Each structure stands twice: as C-alpha cells, then as structure tokens.
C-alpha cells in the first residue's frame, strides 16, 4: 500500500480518491495491529512520515486525501501513543489552521433552498416553521 502512495499520481479526482481510500485502509490496518505495537512500530513510523509529507504539501481543500490523512493520523496517534509526539509540531500547525476555518451552517425553507456544490444538508420538519433544510458547507471542513 505504501508503494501505491509513493507511485500513484495525484492529478485527477479519481487518482486522489483512490489514494484517499488507500490511506484509510492503512489506518484500519494500523488500528487492527494495535495489540502488538512493537512488531509494527517501524512500519507505522514510516507511514506517518509519508503521510506527514503529503499533508504539509498543502493539498487542495476538496482533496479527499486531506481528510483521510487526518483520520489515519488519529489512528496512528493511538497506536504510537507517546512516540507520536515527535510528529506533533507539523500536524498541530495544520490542525490550528483547520480550527480557524469558517464553517457555514445555514437553515432555510426546504422549498426555496438552493443546492450548491460542497453543501450537504437534511430536511427536517420544524414545529411552527414547516420543512427546513439545514445545510453545511463541507468544503470548509
């Protein structure tokens, strides 16, 4: 899987999506071997270094790899425990930047709601207001 990340281009949306799925799989594999950390620690450190390089490349906001990397890093942090601290400076900078992102949450009448790219929403019946669409700009995340 590491070979895929190192060799698969990340130019088209399909390639980026495949790479994101590979990153997610790595996270699941790391999580599954958590009970025997010493046997896999060197590999997990190598994966963490690779993911760190990818993340600091400033991936575009709509690149699915960014979210996959952040989720996998949570799994890696749990696996590595205190050994994860050496990777923190780079990742904290990115997390702080993400924390400053404005999240656009809105509620509007369902029958007049506009559906924009990157906005995901649900329709709910609100007492006294009828059907309302609550939406979130997921690109901001």
- Residue showing tokens 């979130």: 136
Tell me: the pLDDT tens digits for 45-61? 999 999 998 888 868 87
Same domain for 79 and 125, yes or no, is no
Same domain for 50 and 115, yes or no, is no
The DSSP bridge partners found for residue 138 are none
Tell me: the pLDDT tens digits for 84-118? 999 998 888 888 887 787 777 788 888 875 666 55
Same domain for 133 and 75, yes or no, is no
Residue 26, token pair as written in the block:
């790595």
pTM: 0.71
Whole-angstrom distance, CA of residue 100 vs CA of residue 9:
30
Whole-angstrom distance, CA of residue 1 vs CA of residue 49:
14
pLDDT-based confidence at residue 25 (cuts at 50, 70, 90): very high
Look at the chain and report how many structural domains it folds into. 2
Tell me: the pLDDT tens digits for 3-13? 888 888 888 99
- pLDDT, mean over the chain: 85
Same domain for 52 and 66, yes or no, is yes
Residue predicted with more confidence, 88 or 141? 88
Q: Which of 80, 106, 72 is nearest to 2 (CA)?
A: 72
Residue 60 lies in domain: 2-99
Same domain for 33 and 83, yes or no, is yes
* Distances, alpha carbon 30 to alpha carbons 63, 67, 83, in Å: 23, 17, 15
Are 14 and 32 within 8 A, CB to CB? no
């Amino acid at each position: 899987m590491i070979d895929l990340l190192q060799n698969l281009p990340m130019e088209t949306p399909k390639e980026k999506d495949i790479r994101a799925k590979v990153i997610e799989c790595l996270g699941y594999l790391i999580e599954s071997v958590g009970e025997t950390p010493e046997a896999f620690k060197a590999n997990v450190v190598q994966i963490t270094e690779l993911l760190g390089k990818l993340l600091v490349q400033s991936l575009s906001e709509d690149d699915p790899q960014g979210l996959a990397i952040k989720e996998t890093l949570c799994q890696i942090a749990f696996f590595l425990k205190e050994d994860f601290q050496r990777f923190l400076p780079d990742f904290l900078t990115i997390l702080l930047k993400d924390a400053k992102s404005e999240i656009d949450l809105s509620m509007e009448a369902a029958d007049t709601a506009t559906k924009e790219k990157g906005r995901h929403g649900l329709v709910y019946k609100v007492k006294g207001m009828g059907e309302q669409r609550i939406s979130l700009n997921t690109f901001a995340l």
